[in-house]
Each structure stands twice: as structure tokens, then as C-alpha cells.
């Protein structure tokens, strides 16, 4: 065996070292170093040189017979598929769904029959409006799509982190998406709704007002995929073995509770780490802190539907949890990242039409339209009706059909018969007993293009959502509306929106008008149905009213300097890990610092790349000289100033005082500032962090 240096024909360019051995016939064969395999073409042919095209001489033209180059460049030229029209920027993970108890009384769906049974799943989270290359923390709806690989085929629960939508009928879907996408004459703004086209459409579409309250709330800027709810949005049906139907709404609730970021914080996170949500999910799963949600069902019959204040088929309405309590029926755990992003996350195809026997549709007109649209869009994106041959989309249960051929067919029916009925005794047959059967709901009426009168109240639930928020959350909605509408160049659009807001809540409308400088209030918009003021607040709609009371799954950023107190750092790390949280060290240099006991403290971030917006709380473990060196660093001052402005809990050593003062932060400003010099201070800091933010500080901070 010889170690040979391979060179180009002119002897000048060394390619790389390879191990060669001579076969029985004297020919040379490459032997992979260690576990490194031999490079081959897509056809499996070994490649001798991947650095140079085949030429006529060293400086001559490239030869068309270079099949390796042609295959390589051909694949590169075609390696992008059309991105999704909506939900283009997404991230996914594998996991399982575990059923708690049998739901046989409500559904014959196999997935809900046996307690403790686990079903494989793939989940994709996404933003709606932006392209694949946009940032994670746009103010936007988040997709929450779950593919269950059940024993009766795939079930796709294709939902969002908001339980309502902008429109009531699918025929308006192209319009709302066109309006929010970059304006076609200028191709901007990207991944933002703060522009004229979107608000022009919304101001002319009263049915959007409930959704607008949600999108302008903190729900639209979640801290993490792990800290947001998911909803099936529509009303579906469960059908049991007796062919009895029960209406159902699906709700995912995160184990770690809900949490969002402040808008100013979101803007800075997008600059510091546009992949913030992706990185968070990746790191959580890779570290074994598997994200978990609980599936809850709101179950109701036709009598409840008839007695409810609003139409259960209207996708712009919810059933408040105080009216109909959700029932937990199982848990979702994500425990494995894809082996390849493109093969799985990018090529996964979700379709609302994918339901197993025992789950059926309602007549929600938006759901009906989605059932048509999704199959069509997957054909466009993935290039063939055979997209179910792609492993991520293939069922994990046995499947049999006569579909054949087509572009990229990976399998075809075996045998003589590719049709049925046939007399050859070949192939599958339908099963009235086990197969999917649509619930036989009687339908009658004329063929019309009308919207049901029961869909006409566009403001009452929008008002209910707004009054269900805490003062802090209401202030955020007002600020979000003001910011978005301030980006509209046309004053008429701003005034039309204020007219709608006055129908939702007079205080809300006046506050936004004042911030926009609208001197004369417009008349409230014409309303098909007068806003009801008798709907009570629903505490379940507030994020802050439903805090986790825990710091589990969060991050503390610890800014350190040379000779930082080693025992204090160890105490901090132990306390943070005991909370189920993560500590990350930030230093002037990413290599780290030498601590007071001579040990080396490795840093995860240098101060320029680890701003406080990336963390849920911060600690300043500095020495006097270390703080003095940082006071002239703008990024260090921003680290402290932003943490304070974003209402985070800040622990600090006394020696850090000069840096805080230079950042304009009073070490004794409020109870969220916690000195680390006293015994028990670390425990006090961690207890405070369970509240996540000190929102009482916000009113005194001017960003």
C-alpha cells in the first residue's frame, strides 16, 4: 500500500493525498481513509478527480464527454424547488404523539383507541408572509403543522399559533396573501405587514378585525416555537364506530408555557440572529430538552353549536375556553432533528384533506377551500403527483393502490392488473367496513354565492380579545397598530382602520388615532352587526395571565471579565441548571477568561455577538478592572441597557456598577435589579426569573 500525492497533468497543482493499493492485475484502487467513503457519481461510479473538468490540454476547452461535471452541474442547476407561496420559511423536527386514554366514544380513528400508544409525527413550524430567506422574528402568524403517521394513513393537522384567520371564505385567500406580500411594483417590504397594500385590504375587510387583534398582540412575536400554542383553526368532526358525530376544535398547549418578546427586542434579535427560532429548536433537541405540547380538544354537539353566540363554521371566531373547557387527550414530544433539511423539512407536504377514518370535515368554507388548494400546490412545488413517494411524505403503514407511472415514480403496481375490478384476483379492493366514509350530514339549499348572516358580526370577539389582555398587553397592541399604520403612506387607510378600531374599543381607537396624529376622529365604520359589549373577558386569551411560573427551558446570559469570581459562577450555573434552564457565558473574547481560581471559563459568545436580546435574563459577573475596560465598549453598554429596557431580571456584582451607570441603568432602580454580593442572592435571582419579565418597569423605560 502506498501513499501517493495526486497532481494535475502539468504537475503543478497538488489535489489532495489519497491512499492507493494495487489490485491483482496491477491496477490502482483508492482506499478510503478511516470511514471516509469513495466519492461516486449519482449512478455509483467512483470519481477520480472532483477538482478539475476534463479538458483538451491544461488550458484547452472543456470536453462535453465529462459526464461527472455534466451530472454535477445539472443537479446544481436544478437543486432548488419553488418555495411555498406561504409558509416558505419553516423548520421541522421528528417526534411522537402519545395518547392518554381511549376516545372510542367519540371517534373510531385508530390513533385515539389505545392508551399509551405512540404514533410517529413530523412537525413543521413556519412564518406565513416571508420568503425562505427572511428572518425568524417577523410579526406574523406562525404555522404549526403536524403530520401523524397513523396505522390508517397520514393525518395532517395543518394549523397556526393563532386560532382564527383573516378571512371567512377561501376565495379571498389569494387577496389577503397578495396584499401582505412585497408590493409587486417595488418588491418590498419583505416579511412585513407594515405597508399600504396590506392595511388597504384589511381596512376594506371587516371580517379581519378579530385576527388583527391577535396579530397585533404579542402572540405574533413568540419567544420560541417551544413557547407558543397551536390551533387547528377550523371546526372538524369526530365520528365513532356507530357513525355518531361530535364537533371538535384542536388546541396544542406548550408544556413550558407561553412567552413572547418585546417588539424592540424582536427587531434587534433579527439583526443579531435571524435564525433565532431555528437555533432555539435545534439546541433544545440536541441537548435532550425535548419540546412538548399537550393536545386538547373542545368537544361539542349540534345543540351546543346551535346555542353558541357565533357560528362554529366561521373561521374568524373562537369558542372561549371558559365557555367550553378543552380536554387534554395526549402529548406531542419532538426528540429528533431531520437528517437533511431539504429532504425532509423542505419537501414535506401537508394537506388538510389528509384525515384518517373517524376524523371528518365541517362545512367551514375556508377549510373546504384549503382541502382543494393544498393538493394543487404540492403538485406545483414537488413536480409530480408522486410526491408521496418521498420518504417524509410516505405513510408508515401498509398502503396499496393502482396509481402508476408519472414523473419520478419510485414504485408501481406489481403484476398484470393495474385496474379494478379485475378478474385476475390481483391488487387491493375497497373496504366499506374499514375505509374512510364521510359523515352523512343532510344538506339542502339553492346554489348561491352568499355569506351566511351568522358570519356577520366582525367586531364582538375582537373586542373580547382586547379586553381580555392585561394593561401591558393592551399597550403592546396599541403600539403595534401605531407602528404598522405609521408605515402606510396613504392617510385614508389609517383613518379607515381607526374607524374599525372604534367599533372594537373606543379607548383603543382613540389611543391609536392620537399616536398617529389624527386630529379629528372618523365616524365608527358601518357595522353589519353592532358590537356586543356583554361578552366577558376570557383570561385564557392572555399570555401574561397564564405564565408558566417556571424558568425551565429559558436562557441566562452571564457577562464575565478576567478574574471573575469562580465560586459565584459555579453557584450560578448550578442554580440555573436546577431550574431546567441554560447558562451561556459572554466575554470580551470568545475564547473566554481566566477565573479567580485560575480555571478557564470558556465563552459561548463574544460581547459583539452575544447581545442581551438573545437571553431571558442576564447576570454581570465582573471585577472592577473588568468593568472599567467594558464601559467604553458600546456593545457592553447596550447589553445592559437593552436588558433593562426589555424588562429582564439583572443580577450583578457590585464591581459592575460603573458599566451599569454608563449604560444609564440605576442598580437600585427596582426589584428586578438583584445584587449578587449577599448570601442567598443567587436563589433570589432564580426565583425572580420564574416571572420571566418585570413588566412594571416598562412604563418608565423610553426605548
582-587 and 605-606 beta bridge pairing: parallel
Is-catalytic flag, 160?
yes
Q: Determine which one of 68, 94, 154, 160 is catalytic.
A: 160
Q: Could you give the CA distance from residue 303 to residue 305 in angstroms, rounded to a whole number? A: 5
Write the CB contacts of 143 (distance below 8 Å, at least 6 apart in sequence). Answer: 87, 90, 124, 125, 126, 127, 128, 158, 159, 160, 161
- Residue 201's alpha-carbon distances to 27, 43, 500, 543, in angstroms, are 72, 52, 13, 28
| Bridging pattern class, strands 673-675 and 236-239 | unpaired
pLDDT value of residue 11: 37
Q: What is the structure's pLDDT at 43?
A: 87
SS3 of 666, please? coil
Which one, of 459, 518, 496, 398, lies nearest residue 149 by Cα?
Answer: 398
CA distance 564 to 246: 62
CA dist 158 and 87 (Å) reads 11
* DSSP helix/strand/coil, 3: strand
Domains and CATH numbers, the chain: 90-389 (2.40.180.10), 554-700 (3.40.50.880)
Active-site position among 68, 87, 476, 646: 87
Long-range contacts of 326-329 (CB under 8 A, 24+ apart): 326/251, 326/253, 326/296, 326/297, 326/298, 327/296, 327/297, 327/298, 327/299, 328/100, 328/253, 328/294, 328/295, 328/296, 329/99, 329/100, 329/101, 329/103, 329/112, 329/295, 329/296, 329/297
Cell digits of residue 85? 407561496
Q: How far apart are CA 500 and CA 459, in angstroms?
A: 8
Distance from first CA to last CA of the chain, Å, rounded? 69
Beta partners for residue 291, in sequence order: none
pLDDT, position 678: 80
**pLDDT, mean of each 10-residue run, the chain (703 residues):** 38 41 50 71 89 90 90 85 95 98 98 98 98 97 98 97 97 96 96 98 98 98 98 98 97 98 98 98 98 98 98 98 98 98 97 95 95 90 93 93 89 89 88 89 88 97 98 98 98 98 98 97 97 98 97 98 97 98 96 96 96 98 97 96 98 97 96 92 98 95 68
Quote the cell numbers at residue 259: 412567552
Do residues 84 and 349 touch, judged by C-beta distance below 8 A? no
| pLDDT value for 15 | 35
Three-class HEC string of 515-550: HHCCCCCCCCCCCCCCCCCCCCCCHHHCCHHHCCCC
- Tell me how far apart the alpha carbons of residues 9 and 18 are, in angstroms, rounded to a whole number: 16
Which residues in 121-137 are b (16+ Cβ under 10 Å) and which e? bbbbbbbbbbeeebbbb
Give bridge partners of residue 587 from the DSSP assignment: 606
Q: Is residue 584 helix, strand or coil?
A: strand
Q: Confirm if 247 and 235 have CB atoms less than 8 A apart.
A: yes
What is residue 76's DSSP assignment? H
CB 638 within 8 A of CB 613: no
Query: Measuring CA to CA, how many Å separate 82 from each of 158, 229, 383, 387, 665?
Result: 20, 29, 9, 14, 49
Catalytic residue at 340? no
List helix spans (H) across 487-621.
Answer: 491-504, 506-516, 566-578
Helices within 128-233 (DSSP H only): 173-180, 196-203, 209-215
**350/158 Cα distance (integer angstroms):** 7
Distance CA 146, CA 125 (A): 9
Long-range interactions of 625-629: CB distance < 8 A, separation 24+? 625/561, 625/562, 625/563, 626/560, 626/561, 626/562, 626/563, 626/564, 626/655, 627/561, 627/655, 627/656, 627/657, 627/658, 627/659, 628/658, 629/561, 629/588
Helix (H, G, I), strand (E, B) or coil at 150: strand
What is the bridge-based pairing of β-strands 90-99 and 327-336? antiparallel
Amino acid at each position: 500500500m502506498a501513499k501517493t500525492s495526486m497532481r494535475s497533468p502539468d504537475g503543478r497543482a497538488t489535489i489532495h493525498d489519497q491512499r492507493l493499493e494495487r489490485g491483482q492485475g496491477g491496477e490502482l484502487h483508492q482506499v478510503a481513509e478511516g470511514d471516509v467513503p469513495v466519492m461516486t457519481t449519482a449512478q455509483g461510479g467512483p470519481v477520480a478527480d472532483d477538482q478539475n473538468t476534463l479538458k483538451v490540454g491544461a488550458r484547452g476547452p472543456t470536453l462535453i464527454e465529462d459526464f461527472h461535471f455534466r451530472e454535477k452541474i445539472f443537479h446544481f442547476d436544478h437543486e432548488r424547488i419553488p418555495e411555498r407561496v406561504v409558509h416558505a420559511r419553516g423548520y421541522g423536527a421528528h417526534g411522537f404523539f402519545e395518547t392518554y386514554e381511549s376516545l372510542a366514544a367519540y371517534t373510531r380513528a385508530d390513533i385515539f383507541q389505545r392508551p399509551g400508544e405512540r404514533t410517529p409525527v413530523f412537525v413543521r413550524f413556519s412564518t406565513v408572509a416571508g420568503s425562505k430567506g427572511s428572518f425568524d422574528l417577523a410579526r406574523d402568524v406562525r404555522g404549526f403543522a403536524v403530520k401523524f403517521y397513523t396505522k390508517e394513513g397520514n393525518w395532517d393537522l395543518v394549523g397556526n399559533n393563532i386560532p382564527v384567520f383573516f378571512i371567512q371564505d377561501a376565495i379571498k385567500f389569494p387577496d389577503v396573501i397578495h396584499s401582505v406580500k412585497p408590493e409587486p411594483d417595488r418588491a418590498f417590504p419583505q416579511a412585513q405587514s407594515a405597508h399600504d397594500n396590506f392595511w388597504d385590504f384589511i381596512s376594506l375587510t371587516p371580517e379581519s378585525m378579530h385576527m388583527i387583534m391577535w396579530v397585533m398582540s404579542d402572540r405574533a412575536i413568540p419567544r420560541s416555537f417551544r413557547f407558543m400554542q397551536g390551533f387547528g383553526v377550523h371546526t372538524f368532526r369526530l365520528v365513532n364506530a356507530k357513525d355518531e358525530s361530535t364537533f371538535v376544535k384542536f388546541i396544542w398547549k406548550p408544556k413550558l408555557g407561553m412567552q413572547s418578546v418585546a417588539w424592540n427586542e424582536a427587531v434587534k434579535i433579527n439583526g443579531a440572529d435571524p435564525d433565532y427560532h431555528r437555533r432555539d429548536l435545534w439546541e433544545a433537541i440536541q441537548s435532550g430538552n425535548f419540546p412538548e405540547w399537550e393536545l386538547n380538544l373542545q368537544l361539542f354537539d349540534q345543540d351546543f353549536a346551535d346555542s353558541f353566540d357565533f357560528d362554529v363554521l366561521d373561521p374568524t371566531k373562537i369558542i372561549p375556553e371558559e365557555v367550553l373547557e378543552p380536554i387534554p387527550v395526549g402529548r406531542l414530544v419532538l426528540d429528533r432533528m431531520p437528517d437533511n433539511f431539504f429532504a425532509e423539512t423542505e419537501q414535506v407536504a401537508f394537506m388538510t384533506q389528509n384525515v384518517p377514518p373517524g376524523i371528518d370535515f365541517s362545512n367551514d368554507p375556508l377549510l373546504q377551500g384549503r382541502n382543494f388548494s393544498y393538493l394543487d400546490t404540492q403538485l406545483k412545488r414537488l413536480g409530480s403527483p408522486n410526491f408521496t413517494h418521498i420518504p417524509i411524505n410516505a405513510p408508515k403503514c401498509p398502503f396499496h393502490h393502482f396509481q402508476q407511472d408519472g414523473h419520478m415514480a419510485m414504485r408501481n403496481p406489481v403484476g398484470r392488473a393495474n385496474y379494478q375490478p379485475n378478474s385476475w384476483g390481483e391488487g387491493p379492493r375497497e373496504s366499506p367496513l374499514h375505509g374512510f366514509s364521510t359523515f352523512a350530514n343532510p344538506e339542502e339549499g339553492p346554489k348561491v354565492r352568499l355569506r351566511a348572516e351568522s358570519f356577520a358580526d366582525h367586531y364582538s370577539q375582537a373586542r373580547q380579545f382586547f379586553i381580555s389582555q392585561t394593561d401591558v398587553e393592551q399597550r403592546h397592541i396599541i403600539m403595534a397598530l401605531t407602528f404598522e399604520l405609521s408605515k402606510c403612506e396613504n392617510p385614508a387607510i389609517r383613518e379607515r382602520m381607526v374607524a374599525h378600531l372604534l367599533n372594537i374599543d373606543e379607548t383603543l381607537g382613540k389611543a391609536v388615532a392620537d399616536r398617529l396624529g389624527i386630529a379629528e376622529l372618523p365616524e365608527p365604520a358601518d357595522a353589519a352587526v353592532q358590537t356586543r359589549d356583554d361578552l366577558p373577558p376570557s383570561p385564557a386569551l392572555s399570555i401574561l395571565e397564564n405564565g408558566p411560573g417556571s424558568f425551565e427551558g429559558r436562557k441566562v446570559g452571564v457577562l464575565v471579565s478576567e478574574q471573575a469570581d469562580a465560586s459565584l459562577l459555579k453557584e450560578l450555573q448550578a442554580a440555573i441548571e436546577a431550574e431546567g434552564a441554560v447558562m451561556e457565558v459572554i466575554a470580551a473574547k470568545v475564547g473566554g477568561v481566566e477565573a479567580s481560581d485560575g480555571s478557564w471559563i470558556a465563552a459561548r459568545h463574544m460581547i459583539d455577538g452575544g447581545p442581551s436580546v438573545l437571553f431571558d435574563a442576564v447576570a454581570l459577573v465582573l471585577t472592577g478592572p473588568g468593568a472599567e475596560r467594558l464601559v467604553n465598549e458600546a456593545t457592553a453598554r447596550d447589553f445592559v441597557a437593552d436588558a433593562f429596557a426589555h424588562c429582564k431580571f439583572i443580577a450583578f456584582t457590585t464591581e459592575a456598577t460603573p458599566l451599569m451607570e454608563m449604560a444609564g441603568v440605576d442598580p437600585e432602580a427596582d426589584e428586578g435589579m438583584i445584587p449578587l454580593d449577599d448570601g442567598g442572592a443567587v436563589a433570589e435571582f432564580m426565583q425572580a426569573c420564574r416571572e420571566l419579565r418585570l413588566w412594571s418597569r416598562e412604563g418608565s423605560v423610553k426605548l
